[in-house]
């Protein structure tokens, strides 16, 4: 039987309650005490896992039942938590807020799938005794979710803390965090600024979070609660096993893909990506080379395929435009390219009036409208990653638009999007390849080998 992984889910009644500060700070505080901490995030968020990675020294990983399926959540969790002493899972939105009119893909849903105790972070500013009604409601709303304790956040004074503790006498209080203006993470149009863009400032911010949680919370009690989680009944996800069912029609096998180089965009402009994507590419036989379109004037030597993931090209449009040599190389690249959101914008002719790569005959621009939500799409034709009629689940999150899209690649209820051909799939949708491992196999199988490139 797979060993039990001590684990906690950090939740809140709503967004903005302090989940990220508590989860990231708890990860950092436990690591500072010598524990190997596995970091996880409910939902499709890319930004929080960057801070989790700084706090733990391990890749931040997402747990999203909509994108990968319910059955993969516990195996993916165990995969990420290999050789760890404890796992911390940061929730999303309010505890019971899911994809729509039910709690599917909510923090509560993931907590049930992991059979993990929940710690509720409650913003007690502007209330005292009323906090008991809030916590009682969350503790009893769904008896399948085990509320293990409460952390009070934004406590105003010692007297305020005393009143809240008295009102919550029936529940374990695992911490009380007083207001601290020194712990602050800046935001912009799509949420927090990614850790990769802040450099040393992000490292210091995470350290301050860890210090705040260490002095404000009962770490020993939190660890004891984590140890009450039951042993798993499933085995850990394995990228090689995930790829094994696919027929030769979907891929040519590891022997023929060994040594192919897949270049993956990184750096401050391309910070969105799931750790499992790289693991699947490697399991498919590829070597992964990361390059930064802001700094590198050419693709990694021997590049046979490209992955241009998500991020913030609109913030760095001027620098991306200035790297003319790389833009020209990308425009002329005749190998397979998988691009999503930021990568899609980078491949357009222009972004906010600045010249981009020109692989896609369209113009992109920023708007005031936030486009956000899960999408259940259907492929309208074959492309590098898609097959006609095939379903794809993704997540859309941007404030840009592209014109024109005369022949979209994907369609869903209320929308359509995407450009594609035999060597290209470019879409606004963020896809999680652990939910469709064949996508990694198709990319690597279509890649050019180093011998052909020479």
What amino acid positions are annotated as catalytic residues?
Answer: 341
DSSP 197-241: HHTHHHHHHHHHHHHHHHHHB-HHHHHHHHTTSPPPSSPPP-HHH
Separation of alpha carbons 404 and 263, rounded Å: 28
CB 209 within 8 A of CB 24: yes
Map residue 344 onto helix, strand or coil.
Answer: helix
Q: Cα 152 from chain centroid?
A: 26
- Beta carbons within 10 angstroms of residue 209's beta carbon: 26
Which tokens go with 427?
A: 């879409």
Separation of alpha carbons 242 and 81, rounded Å: 18
Nearest to 12 by CA among 183, 178, 152: 152
What contacts 104, CB < 8 A, 6 or more positions away? 65, 66, 98
CB 51 within 8 A of CB 76: no
């Amino acid at each position: 039987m797979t060993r039990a992984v001590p684990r906690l889910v950090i939740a809140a009644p709503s967004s903005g309650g302090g989940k990220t500060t508590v989860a990231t700070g708890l990860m950092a505080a436990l690591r500072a005490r010598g524990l190997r901490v596995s970091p996880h995030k409910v939902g499709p968020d890319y930004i929080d896992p960057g801070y989790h990675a700084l706090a733990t020294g391990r890749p931040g990983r997402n747990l999203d039942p909509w994108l990968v399926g319910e059955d993969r959540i516990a195996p993916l969790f165990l995969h990420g938590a290999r050789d760890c002493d404890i796992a911390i899972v940061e929730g999303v939105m309010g505890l019971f807020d899911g994809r729509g009119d039910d709690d599917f893909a909510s923090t509560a849903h993931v907590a049930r799938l992991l059979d993990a105790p929940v710690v509720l972070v409650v913003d007690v500013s502007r209330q005292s005794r009323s906090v008991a009604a809030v916590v009682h409601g969350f503790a009893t709303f769904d008896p399948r979710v085990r509320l293990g304790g409460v952390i009070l956040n934004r406590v105003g004074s010692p007297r305020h803390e005393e009143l809240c503790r008295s009102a919550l006498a029936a529940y374990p209080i695992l911490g009380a965090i007083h207001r601290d203006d020194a712990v602050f993470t800046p935001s912009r149009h799509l949420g927090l600024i990614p850790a990769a863009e802040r450099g040393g400032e992000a490292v210091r911010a995470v350290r301050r979070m860890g210090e705040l949680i260490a002095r404000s919370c009962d770490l020993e009690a939190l660890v004891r609660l984590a140890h009450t989680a039951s042993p798993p009944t499933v085995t850990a996800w394995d990228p090689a096993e995930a790829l094994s069912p696919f027929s030769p029609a979907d891929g040519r096998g590891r022997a023929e893909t060994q040594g192919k180089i897949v270049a993956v965009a990184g750096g401050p402009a391309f910070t969105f990506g799931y750790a499992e994507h790289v693991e699947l590419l490697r399991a498919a036989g590829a070597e992964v080379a990361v390059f930064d379109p802001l700094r590198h004037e050419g693709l990694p030597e021997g590049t046979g395929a490209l992955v241009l993931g998500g991020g913030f090209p609109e913030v760095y449009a001027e620098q991306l435009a200035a790297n003319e040599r790389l833009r020209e190389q990308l425009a002329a690249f005749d190998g397979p390219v998988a691009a999503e959101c930021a990568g899609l914008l980078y491949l357009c002719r222009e972004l906010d009036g600045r010249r981009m790569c020109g692989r896609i005959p369209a113009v992109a621009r920023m708007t005031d409208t936030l486009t956000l939500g899960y999408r259940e799409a259907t492929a309208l034709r074959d492309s590098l990653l898609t097959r006609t009629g095939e379903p794809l689940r993704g997540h859309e999150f941007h404030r840009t638009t592209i014109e024109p899209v005369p022949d979209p690649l994907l369609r869903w209820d209320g929308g359509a999007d995407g450009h594609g051909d035999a060597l290209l799939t470019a879409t606004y949708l963020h896809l999680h390849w652990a939910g469709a491992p064949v996508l990694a196999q198709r990319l690597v199988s279509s890649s050019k080998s180093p011998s052909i490139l020479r």
